[in-house]
Structure formats: structure tokens, C-alpha cells
Amino acid sequence: MPASSGLSGEIRVPGDKSISHRAVMFGAIAHGTTTVRNFLPGDDCLSTVSCFQKLGVTIETAGTDVKISGNGLEGLREYSGLLDVGNSGTTIRLMMGLLSGTPFVTRLTGDESIAKRPMNRVTAPLKEMGATIDGRENGKFIPITITGGRLKGISYSLPVASAQVKSAILLAGLQAEGETSITETAPTRDHTEKMIRLFGGKIKTSSNTVVIEGGQKLYGTGVNVPGDISSAAFFLAAGSLVPGSEIILKNVGLNWTRTGILEVLEKMGADFSVMRSSGDTYEPSGDIVVKHSRLKGITIGGDLIPRLIDELPIIALLATQAEGETIIRDASELRVKETDRIETVAGELRKLGAEIETTPDGMIITGGTKLGNGTVTSHGDHRIGMMLAVAGLICKSGIELHDTEAIAVSYPDFFIHLDSLKK
Ligand code: SPQ
């Protein structure tokens, strides 16, 4: 991977991963046909498609177009084998909520990374709602077995800021007797709430609480998925870091619960502008133009963290090139992602010469370090892989990057897009 001297051109980043998962899930449990445009055909979202096909839902995919023929929750059928979610935390956690209320037994499994990720954060509230869930270590780890049955609404305060836990409870709440209310410590992505409304459901949201009434019917609709800001983040960073760059990113999702990366770039002094699309869409979007600039170190923590959690690996790379120190705190959730992203980010970037101290809930990154060549690996984590590929652009003689297949989880065309920007 040779060092780069300026990136220029236009990219349409793929559809948002979180929204693509939810479009398939809600289409599968709605009545009637759902058409999804700009669906992300990445490995994770294809795992969601395959799980619902096994549960008896007719889903036709043609590239980024998906058609789902839903027959309501009653249309789901028991699958006698193991449902495999692959590498996808969103698939397993949201399906656990959904399948807690369906009257059959489901077994869920996943890959080596999913085997290490905690499911008890979902199991605990679902059990409070009356769900029957088993798994290794009392429902903490896969394989998970869910015996669906009657559920009752609960009031639940999320102990961790997690959209996956909130969404799992909402999917169970849709089927529960009475009202389910969820209170968050900090705002997390609200795509599930928006999608419930899009499919004709009712949900009340106030400052930090979401309330849903059980027994609602949803109806098939059209979903237009905006580009994934978490994928755009790698090009926002590449454009900022490589001298002489100017990149245009088209149709990027700009939902406020996801735009923490833009706030960080602004504070670091990045040179970018956002043109919001007009039009009445349920998820806002727009184009972003980014140019190379000098960056400065900042402190990132508190409520901002859930709004940029998946962007912290690439922010760490930006910080190695900024002037001064960057402190990332309140981000212990990074330790339970596809990898322990605090250790994998620090470990791999150190191999290239970065100075990063890890803390229990974040990193302290020394800015202004020259990155040199070296051999690094994604550890099977798509976001680590893409972050390292961007690091390779600013290493004098490039880097050797292993385990790049993982990138297909969220961005199958990543290298094609990157190559198209090289002059
Ligand atoms: O789906 P998965 O594997 O958990 O994916 C990740 C990612 O980097 O793509 C996290 F590893 O994104 C999560 C995100 O971190 C997707 C997500 C969602 O769609 O609801 C929410 C976040 O996770 P959490 O645990 O904070 O709710």
C-alpha cells in the first residue's frame, strides 16, 4: 500500500449499516411489502437478511435494492437449525428482543468475535419482561436459546449507553402487554425509533425517555437508506490527513445522534463543509467536502461518546497527527466491540510509531508523531482495518496490512473507492 500524495474526487459511501439492518427487520415483521433503496450489501446486513429468510420471510436482494414481503410478526416461522449472525452484534441483539415475544424456540450463534461479546446487557431487561433466554454463563454469551412467549411492559434505565440494548427492548416492547419505557443516560442512535414511525407505529420520545405501547401493527413501506457517516469518517480523515486532498462525499446520513465525528473534526480544526439536502426525509442527509488541514489535539468524552463511538479508531489516527495531546475518555464500551478497540487501535498504531497510552476507558494520544512503515493487522475488525488503510496513506513507504477481508462487514467497496481518489 504506497504512501499517497493527495486524494481527490467524489465518493458515494455505502448505505448506513444500522439503518439497513433495521429496514430488513421492520420489513420482515410489518404487514405488506417493504422496498429498501441504497441498502448496504455488507456481510453484517446480509447476515440479517439470511436470518429472516430462515425464519420464513421472503426477501429478494438485487445489489442495493431489497424487497421484503412481510406477513406481520405472525408470519415468522420456527427455524430448527442455528441462526448464524456472523460478526454482527446488531443482528443478534436486536433479534434477541424481537424473538423473545414470538411463540417458538430460536437458537442464535455467531463468529469468534461475537462469542466474546456480552449479551447479558440484553438478556437482563428481556428476562424482566418475562422472556426465557439461555446461553453460556447464564445467558451472557452465545449460543443463545430463546423460547418466545408472553411479555409484559417494563420501565428500564439503561446501565450503558447502547442503541442495541434500547432497540432490543423496543422490539420486545412492541409485542408486550402494556407500555414499555426506556431511559437513557446519554442519547444513542435513534434509527429504531424513527423506523417504528416510518412503518406506521406510535412511539413517544421525550428528552431521555422512549415509550412504546405493545400490540401495535406495522405496515410495509419504502425505506431510502442514506450513506453511512461511520464509513464516510474514513474518507473525512483521509482527506484531512493527506496533503493536497479534496474529497466530496455524497449523500451522507446526518442524523444528530451520529454526527459527533463532525463536531470533533470542527474542534480539531479540520477544513470541511456540509451541504444538507433539502426534502422531507425521515433521516437527514447531505454532501460533505473535506480538504487537507492542520489539526490540533482535543479532549473527547461524556455524552459525545455514544454519538461517535464507532469513529473513535479513526479519530485516534487523526490525533497522532494533530498538534498536542488528545484525550479520549468515557469510552470503555470500545472494549466490547468486534475487538477491544482500545487495545487494537493502540497496539497496531504503535507498530507504526504512534505514542498512545491506554486507560481503562480510553486513550491518551501524543500528537505530531511521524508514522513509519510496518506490518499491521485488522484483527478481523472492519473499522480497525479501514483505519489502518488510511494510516498507510501517510506512512512514508506504505504499510503491509493483513486481514483486510473483515472490511466487507460494513464497506465491501472500500479499496475500490480509496483507489479511485488516488491521483
Ligand atoms: O453491529 P456491531 O457489530 O455491534 O457493529 C458496531 C460497528 O462498529 O459497526 C459496533 F461494533 O456498531 C454498533 C454501534 O457501536 C451498531 C449499533 C446499532 O446499529 O445499533 C450501535 C452501536 O452499538 P451499541 O452497543 O453502542 O449499541
Q: Whose CA is nearest to atom 8 of ligand 1?
A: 310
Check if the beta carbon of residue 336 is closer than 8 Å to that of residue 164: no
Nearest CA among 194, 167, 162, 190 for reference residue 180: 167
Q: Whose CA is nearest to atom 10 of ligand 1?
A: 337
Tell how far the Cα of 84 is from the centroid of ligand 1, in angstroms: 17
Determine the Cα–Cα distance for residues 139 and 155; give it in Å rounded to an integer. 21
Tell how far the Cα of 88 is from the centroid of ligand 1, in angstroms: 8
Closest ligand 1 atom to residue 410 Cα is 9
**Known catalytic residue: 16?**
no
Sheet holding 362-365, edge to edge: 299-300, 326-328, 362-365, 356-359
Catalytic residue among 16, 190, 310, 381: 310
Per-residue model confidence as pLDDT tens for the chain (423 residues): 544 579 999 999 999 999 999 999 999 999 999 999 999 999 999 999 999 999 999 999 999 999 999 999 999 999 999 999 999 999 999 999 999 999 999 999 999 999 999 999 999 999 999 999 999 999 999 999 999 999 999 999 999 999 999 999 999 999 999 999 999 999 999 999 999 999 999 999 998 999 999 999 999 999 999 999 999 999 999 999 999 999 999 999 999 999 999 999 999 999 999 999 987 678 999 999 999 999 999 999 999 999 999 999 999 999 999 999 999 999 999 999 999 999 999 999 999 999 999 999 999 999 999 999 999 999 999 999 999 999 999 998 889 999 999 999 999 999 999 999 997
Counted residue by residue, the chain has a size of: 423
Identify the residues whose C-beta falls under 6 Å from ligand 1: 17-18, 44, 88-90, 162-164, 167, 189, 309-310, 333, 337-338, 383, 410
Nearest CA among 339, 343, 271, 272 for reference residue 87: 339
Which of the listed residues 44, 46, 87, 310 should we mutate to test ligand 1's pocket, taking the one with most ligand atoms within 8 A of CB?
A: 310
> Looking at this protein, which amino acid is placed at residue 112?
E
Give the angle subtended at the CA of 274 by the CAs of 363 and 243, to the nearest 5°: 60
Closest ligand 1 atom to residue 94 Cα is 20
Tell how far the Cα of 89 is from the centroid of ligand 1, in angstroms: 6
Tell how far the Cα of 190 is from the centroid of ligand 1, in angstroms: 12
Listed in sequence order, the residues at least 6 apart from 416 whose beta carbon sits closer than 8 Å to its beta carbon are none
Tell how far the Cα of 320 is from the centroid of ligand 1, in angstroms: 25
Determine the Cα–Cα distance for residues 17 and 124; give it in Å rounded to an integer. 26
Q: Whose CA is nearest to atom 2 of ligand 1?
A: 89
Span 205-241, pLDDT tens digits: 998 999 999 999 999 999 999 999 999 999 999 999 9
Closest ligand 1 atom to residue 383 Cα is 8
Determine the Cα–Cα distance for residues 52 and 69; give it in Å rounded to an integer. 11
